[in-house]
Amino acid sequence: MYTEAVFVGMGGQGALLAAQILAHAAVHEGKNVVWYPAYGPETRGGTATCTLIISDEQIGAPIAPNPEILVAFNQTMLDKYIDQVKPGGMVITNSDLCEPITREDLTEYRVPASSIALELGNPKVLNMAMAGALAMVAKSVESESVNWALENQLPEKIKKTIPINMQALELGKERVQKTE
């Protein structure tokens, strides 16, 4: 098993945390992991990207210049990074903020992450809806491990959000749709 994804969003959308939770889940399962964040100097509104590689085998390089999966939180970031995805790869988009993709050599999965977050009453959990969608599509980590990562890796100051984050994960898994 080998999963290579790049999460792309704006500062404040939680792209880095979504990838980090999945990374911790994979480590919990004994897999090899690379979690490589990159972000601009802005706290909110700047570019936030993160490479996540999960593998049963040793990982040769910590970068993915042409990932097999792109997880796009908004249209700006989708437009900026879609050309880097390998032909035959996949794109997971926040369908509330992204138009359908036009590259015919990619498979698109759409999840209404912003709507899920608003439905749950906390716009910050859209990242967990996106993480749930990736976990469902890539099948690189088990749900129990993702829940373990939330319970054991979230900073103490936000542990009270674990139940709503778990709900967002599950709804992301349930509502992700492959486009035809």
3-state secondary structure of 131: helix
3-state secondary structure of 152: helix
Q: Which residue has tokens 């138009």?
A: 99
pLDDT tens digits in sequence order for the chain, 180 residues long: 899 999 999 887 889 999 999 999 999 999 999 999 987 666 666 788 999 999 999 998 878 888 999 999 999 999 999 999 999 999 999 999 999 999 999 999 999 999 999 999 999 999 999 999 999 999 999 989 999 999 998 888 888 999 999 999 999 999 999 997
DSSP 8-state assignment for residue 45 = S
Fold for the domain defined by 2-178: Pyruvate-ferredoxin Oxidoreductase; domain 3 (3.40.920)
CA distances in angstroms from 10 to 14, 29, 41, 54, 164, listed in the order given? 8, 29, 12, 23, 22
User: In the chain, what are the domain boundaries?
Assistant: 2-178
